[in-house]
Amino acid sequence: MKKLINNPNNVVDEMIEGYVKAYPQYVKQLSENKRSLVTAKETREGKVGVLIGGGSGHEPAFMGYVGDGMADGVAVGNIFASPPPDPILEVTRTIDKGAGVVYVYGNYAGDVMNFGMAADLADLEYGTKVGMVLVTDDVASAPKEEIEKRRGIAGEFFVTKAAGAAAEKGYDLEDVVRVAKKANDHTRTMGVGLTPCSLPQTGKPSFELEENEMEIGLGHHGEPGIEKGELQPADQVAERLVNDILADMPLEQGEKVAVLVNGLGSTTRMELYIMFRRVEQILTEKGIEIHRSYVGDYSTSLEMGGCSVTLIKLDDELTELVDQPADCPMYVQK
């Protein structure tokens, strides 16, 4: 597959260099490690720091969400690979303002290991207290009785939003962790894959689908889904995704949600709005209020075709946090 790159083995560092040059008012690169980015704005003493991170290839996640009301720093890994402990530790040290740091990251083996090591080192070397929030929103990746095994995908956006807003409002470390975990517990995502992505180093498709096939529950790295079958119209796909979410996280009439219809990289806004149209109809028919909606590329998989639907069930506290302003290069909310 064709790509606008130079050296296939240097795409991540060149991407980060370009990103920092494009948004100097938002982010700065730490000198010791090219993979460590922090907010360019001064943060106040006594504020809990929020650190996110993961592999590259999911842009605008994760570095696109460093800014006011979201994360204070990000550690960037290779494509679809966890960042090692060193950049995580460097970001931790930089954003710690005396109140501790919360790590928000997806439930993948490499991330669990490396963020865990960085947290131990932060405590040992700097005395920094770290809270850990593991995102597990992917309904397709494990049954409900094994929810702790689920992957983190697009729902990480809402968990980061809750953590960042809480930290901005002055919550202490324990409470930022609490509301971020509550956001995760209230968030579910289902996705569908239509076409594969390809790694720059190989140029080969990450998985195979026939021209008339789709895969329900496909992971962001091409992990197998729960069902491969004939391509369906958008309305039927939306119904399947929403119904699977509601079977896992039942919602009563009168409850409210925020909705994210997320593109995986090459799916057009036209298609995403067609998907949202049916998602809105389904929820309205069930008497479920959509408090806020988000449509676009929020967490991608290089040039993969497809999309995901995420619902976060809102109580009063989560509603207030989701409504808080945010100002990042890839996401602005007034």
- Which of 11 and 31 is assigned the larger pLDDT? 11
3-state secondary structure the chain: CCCCCCCHHHHHHHHHHHHHHHCCCCEEECCCCCCEEEECCCCCCCCCEEEEEEEECCCCCCHHHECECCECEEEEEEECCCCCHHHHHHHHHHHCCCCCEEEEEECCHHHHHHHHHHHHHHHHHHCCCEEEEEECCEHHHCCHHHHHHCCCCCCHHHHHHHHHHHHHCCCCHHHHHHHHHHHHHCEEEEEEEEECCECCCCCCECCCCCCCEEEECCCCCCCCCCEEEECCCHHHHHHHHHHHHHHHCCCCCCCEEEEEEEECECCCHHHHHHHHHHHHHHHHHCCCEEEEEEEECCCCCCCEEEEEEEEEEECHHHHHHHHCCEEECCEEEC
What pLDDT sits at residue 208? 86
From residue 40, how far is each of 23, 66, 173, 221, 304 by CA, in Å? 9, 9, 22, 30, 31
Query: At residue 253, what is the residue type?
Result: Q
pLDDT in tens, 276-332: 999 999 999 999 999 999 999 999 999 999 999 999 999 999 999 999 999 999 999
**Mean pLDDT over each residue of the chain, to the nearest integer:** 96
Structural domains in the chain, sorted by start: 8-186 (3.40.50.10440), 187-322 (3.30.1180.20)
Q: What is the mean pLDDT of residues 123-139?
A: 97
pLDDT in tens, 186-220: 999 999 999 999 989 888 888 888 889 999 998 88
What pLDDT sits at residue 221? 85
186 belongs to the catalytic site? no
pLDDT confidence bin for 88, thresholds 50/70/90: very high
Which percentage of the chain shows pLDDT scores above 70?
Answer: 100
Q: Say which residue the tokens 């006594």 belong to.
A: 46
Catalytic residue, candidates 186, 220, 221, 291: 221
Catalytic residue, candidates 58, 186, 220, 291: 58
What pLDDT sits at residue 225? 84
* Dist CA 69 CA 31 (whole Å): 25
pLDDT at 251 exceeding the cut of 80: yes
pLDDT at 31 exceeding the cut of 80: no
pLDDT at 54 exceeding the cut of 90: yes
What pLDDT sits at residue 2? 85
pLDDT at 43 exceeding the cut of 80: yes
What pLDDT sits at residue 222? 78
- Tally of residues, the chain: 334
pLDDT confidence bin for 106, thresholds 50/70/90: very high
What pLDDT sits at residue 47? 98
Q: What is the mean pLDDT of residues 178-190?
A: 98
Contact 74, 91 (CB under 8 A): yes
Q: What is the mean pLDDT of residues 176-190?
A: 98
pLDDT at 102 exceeding the cut of 90: yes
What pLDDT sits at residue 224? 77
291 belongs to the catalytic site? no
What pLDDT sits at residue 204? 85
